[in-house]
Chain A
Amino acid sequence: MLPAGMISKENPQPIRIKFKKVGNLQYISHLDLQRTFEKVIIRSGIPAWYTMGFNPHAKMVFGLPLSVGCQSVCEYLDIRITEYMTFNEIKARLKTALTDELDVIEVYEPQMKLTDIGAARYTLTFETRGACEDLADKAKALFEKPVAMEKKGKAGVKEIDITKMIKSLDCRYDPETDRIVIDTTVSAGQAETLNPEMIVTALREQLGFLSEDILTEHYSIMREEIYNLNGEAFR
């Protein structure tokens, strides 16, 4: 951090906020999250740096956007402050302005650039009919061969092999909860991103996951960690 006396409007101090977005907050879109944080910053009373102009608001840059239906314990938001305040104080203030399901984990000075994000690790948990060891093995095997899927992009629908973006994938059956659990690291960032929902879709389409009853069958996705382009834990 800059020396206290040197932080000012002209020379604001960058701050990284690591937060979680879990439970009911998985249903809130990235756009709504941005709007929410504008108010969170105000009610926390952090001396955030504001953009000028007709509609001034705190300058915020988010890391990897999270899609609706996906939870995370590793979201990142960068802001700048115009007055000295300790990281602990910032964290404490944010805590009072947030809830258990959208909560601050850590506040620190950014070590890496948000544009250097290259991969993300997810846990996918399935409560699906017929979950067993055998099904888990089949699921793992599915991604060992190319899996062609349609991806909607700017230039229309194109066919891609999603396994090209899967860096690792492990799958097991948990007899205690009767669930299938996938631990996977996939490409994420500016160059290419694999939405983990694609993995869910592949399992639905090819192995019949979640196809019987919407009330008893469900899945959840948790973003566990983010890595930079060199595969180091993001800081």
Chain B
Amino acid sequence: MDEKYSSILKSVQKPGRYSGGEYGQTIKDLSDGRVKARFAFCFPDTYEIGMSNLGVRILYGALNREEDIWCERAYAPWADMEEKMIEHDMPLCALESGDPLSMFDIVGFTLQYEMCYTNVLQMLKLAKIPLKSADRTNDQPIIIGGGPCSYNPEPLADFFDCFSIGEGEDMLVEFTKLLIEEKAKGNFDRQEFLHYAATKIKGLYVPSLYEVTYKEDGTIGSFGPIYPDVPKRVTKRIMKDMDKAYFPDKVVMPYIETVQDRIMLEVYRGCIRGCRFCQAGMIYRPVREKTPEVLCRQAKCLYENTGYDEISLSSLSISDYTEIEKLTTKLLEWTDDKKVNLSLPSLRVDSFTKELMEKIASVRSSSLTFAPEAGTQRLRDVINKNVREEDLFRAVGVAFDAGKTTVKLYFMNGLPTETADDLLGIPKLASDVVHQFYINPNRPKGKSPQVTISVACFVPKPFTPFQWERQDTVEELTEKNEYIYQNVTDRKVRYTHHDPKTSHIECVLARGDRRLCRALEEAANRGFHFDAWDEYFDYDKWVEVFEATGIDPAFYANRQWGFDEILPWDVIDCGVSKEFFRRERDRAYGEITTPSCREKCSGCGANKLGGERTCCPQA
């Protein structure tokens, strides 16, 4: 960091967020001309959250592996720092070189959740890069987006020059190399380049090359490319063989404490379950596993290069990994000796066993979390969450046997077909878990149980069987929360819930089309930021922004969408077919569950993408 900013750094909270200088960062020499493209990888939230993202760790390494690319990092400055930056006209800079983002060739944003969109715009403003793609000149950076939210990129269409759809390890490198080639030819024209790239690079979506018209009722009338050589639909990219996919052998080591301050070992991609509300379970299909040998080698190498003493096995539902037994045994062969702990971010109730618990230190030490998601078996069948009450009771039994007293249960309200009975089922299930404690002969004596229920609001997401569903209004969700609260009578049960207002805005942004850009631009002009943080999210201000820009949020959130409507995200092909989603939606309403991909293929279409060590039939 430049010396002239030292007084500013001394005056903000946690200056370690901005100072850089971490062990493991990549510094390249710009003087010998070998670096041909500079890439600023931005995470639109705090340093602590951004540094914890596995995707960023992978892509940072994958880009820097290329001699002619230098990838650096940038994060959203916290409000105190942002204020100082504005006051002193300090541009947003990358951590490694301290150079302003505006002088980079490419500025990439990873879009992990909708509520970070205002931070993206705030960062562009601080970087003094024009917000809109159309206003940028040839010598300004190309702005590219990626990550789960880019599966419906439309609400950000005006701001981004392009999006990387799907897994970026190969794609971002190809894209950057193409930019290097085109810039070397001279007379670089960004719009020409974007057009060319859209025809050359698979998985690249350039919103400015598509035209959208609307019907009188506000739904989309047509959506298609302006030029014949631009793909009508952009198919996501995947890494076919995860054993061969690039995996970083080092990590940028934060000095300050971050959210995931540990080794994250990606065991497999995708998920064999088909929970009907879960976007991640659909867009990351098909499942592709790594072998225990490769995982073990990667873990050991990371341990030696980082010094982390904890390895988190991070995948969507880790116990679905076919070789979990072999992997944990193989890891424990050396981790025990080195005093390295294994931890798990997620665990399915039906596979929670004593054996696994004994191997996993984090489960040993902390309170346990299970996600039944719905209060009755009927509704769990609707959402295809294949967890039965018996499974839950058996799992908490294991925990109580081991001396645990606290259990956390995650639920959702506002799910399709939900009735008052389903809502009542939430506190009832929690009380039943309390009861399980008292009837357990091995329970810790002299202690009482504590069961916390945490209720989130259902947000219908693109690329799920529930993508067409109406979201309950804020008022309906608030009433439901209140109803659950009134029915929590057990003193051993604690109840917490999410804010329906945040979930409403999240839904609008998740299902929005490009008309929402004007609302987001207005939000940026009004200085919105950190909307994922309670202390900065202000619902009334969002309502004002929608009013001022003529956007009806209910059109996006609280409307039952037509099955034959053109969806804003139809331009993206995530591998899973719309027919599958439709079928799954009908099965949901018929209360029929769908088996996991390992039990039986349900023909979602994702097998057309290919993949090694998957459970899909060959396409």
Contacts and interface: CB of A to CB of B under 8 A. Distances in A.
Given A56-B339, A218-B7, A28 B256 contact: yes
Interface stretch (B8-16, B388-396, B454-462): B8-16
Contacts of A23: 21
A-B interface, 5 closest residue pairs, ranked by CB to CB distance from nearest:
A39-B307, A24-B21, A42-B307, A43-B307, A27-B15
Secondary structure of the A contact surface, majority rule? mixed
- Chain B CB within 10 Å — which of A23, A38, A42, A50 has the most? A42
Contact of B4 (A54, A215, A219): A215
Nearest to B309: A42
A39 B339 contact: no
Nearest to B88: A215
A68 B22 CA distance: 16
B10 A216 contact: no
B7 A29 contact: no
23 contacts: A24-B21, A27-B19, A35-B255, A36-B255, A38-B309, A39-B306, A39-B307, A40-B307, A41-B307, A43-B305, A45-B304, A57-B309, A97-B23, A99-B22, A102-B21, A210-B7, A214-B8, A214-B11, A214-B84, A215-B7, A218-B3, A218-B4, A218-B6
A63 interface: no
Given A24-B19, A43-B306, A56-B339, A33 B8 contact: no
A151 to B, nearest CB: 19
Contact of A99 (B1, B11, B23): B23
Contact of A69 (B3, B10, B253, B307): B10
A93 to B, nearest CB: 12
A54 B309 CA distance: 13
Contact of A29 (B3, B16, B88): B16
Given A27-B19, A28-B255, A99-B23, A43 B304 contact: yes
Given A27-B15, A218-B6, 5 more contacts: A27-B18, A35-B255, A36-B255, A43-B304, A217-B7
A102 B19 CA distance: 13
Interface string B1-44: 10111111111000110111111000000000000000000000
Interface bin, chain A: 35 or more
A27 B9 contact: yes
A27 to B, nearest CB: 4
A32 B4 contact: no
Contacts of B88: 214-215
Interface in B315-348: 339
B308 interface: yes
A230 B6 CA distance: 35
B169 to A, nearest CB: 25
Contacts of B7: 210, 214-215, 217-219
Nearest to B21: A24
Contacts, number: 84
Interface string B253-286: 1011100000000000000000000000000000
A98 interface: yes
Nearest to B23: A99
A210 B10 CA distance: 13
Interface of B: 1, 3-11, 15-16, 18-23, 84, 88, 253, 255-257, 303-309, 339, 365
A38 B15 contact: no
B75 to A, nearest CB: 15
A217 B7 CA distance: 8
Given A43-B305, A97-B307, A32 B256 contact: yes
Interface string A205-224: 00000100011111110000
A29 B10 CA distance: 12
Contacts of A25: 19, 21, 255
Contacts of B309: 38-39, 42, 57
Contact of A27 (B16, B303, B305, B365): B16
Contacts of A218: 3-4, 6-7
A32 B257 contact: yes
Contacts of B365: 54
A120 B88 CA distance: 35
A101 interface: yes
Contacts of A57: 309
Interface in A1-30: 23-25, 27-29
A63 to B, nearest CB: 19
Interface in A181-232: 210, 214-220
Contact of B16 (A28, A43, A216, A220): A28
A39 B339 CA distance: 13
A133 to B, nearest CB: 24
Nearest to B25: A99
Interface string A60-89: 000000001100000000000000000000
Contact of A98 (B19, B20, B23, B305): B23
Contacts of A36: 253, 255
Contacts of B8: 214-215
A68 B5 CA distance: 15
A42 to B, nearest CB: 4
